[in-house]
Amino acid sequence: MDQALRESRLGDFTRLRIGQGMDVHAFAEGRKLILGGVDIPHEKGLLGHSDADVLAHAIADALLGGIRGGDIGKLFPDTDPAYKDADSLKLLAAVAAKVREEGYEIMDVDSVIAAQRPKLSPYRDQIRANLAAAMDIPVENMGVKATTTEHLGFEGREEGISATASCLLCRCI
């Protein structure tokens, strides 16, 4: 389709972008389990160069997807000692700042954590609050859900946790 015709049909909707992100980390002994910046009591934690906050990483990649800005592996390489044990909420805040530098605003974010254990619902409100604060968006625009995988797959075998996230961005006028 002709670009001018496309823009006239879409009008202000051409300002919208969606982003999608996913991440996986394996469980390991002697590591903390950090999800959305919350230190969750569990007998194992997630392995990674940073604090391995799989949910914060999935959301950061969704935001970067929305601005076609690569991924967090490109922005914060796991070979860089600066990011060893890094607080992933700070990485997420840096990504949100990059979104705004590119002229976009974060309208809405939703996410899913797939984990057989531990039970995450007691931590959901704090996770949402932490993530919303890191991105400087209202908490009602940050969705977090958790699901088991009915003992199927690596999450179900408790070998690791995965997270996916979607976001809607709007290019500011």
Residues lying near Mg ion in the complex (CB under 5 A) are found at 23, 57
Task: Supply the minimum distance, in Å, between the C-beta of residue 102 and Mg ion.
Answer: 22
Cβ neighbors of 88 (< 8 A, separation 6 or more) are 34, 37, 50, 51, 52, 53, 56, 57, 60
Q: Given the complex with Mg ion, which of 67 and 72 has the nearer CB atom?
A: 72
Place of tokens 């007998």: 43
In angstroms, what CA-CA distances link 130 with 118, 149, 161? 19, 25, 19
**At 161, which amino acid appears?**
I
CB of 91 vs Mg ion, minimal distance in Å? 10
- Complex with Mg ion: residue 44 or 57, whichever CB lies closer: 57
Nearest to Mg ion of 17, 57 (CB atom): 57
Is the Cβ of residue 16 or residue 47 nearer to Mg ion in the bound state? 47
Question: In this complex, which beta carbon is closest to Mg ion, that of residue 21 or of residue 66?
Answer: 21
Neighbours of 115 (CB within 10 A): 26
Is residue 109 within 8 A of residue 164, CB to CB? The reply is: no
Sequence-ordered list of residues with C-beta below 8 angstroms from that of 122, at least 6 positions apart, any chain: none
Q: Three-state SS for 25?
A: strand
Q: CB of 16: closest distance to Mg ion in angstroms?
A: 27
List helix spans (H) across the chain. 3-10, 54-66, 72-75, 88-101, 124-135, 153-156
Instruction: Give me the least distance between CB of 103 and Mg ion, in Å please.
Output: 27
- Least distance from C-beta 132 to Mg ion, angstroms? 20
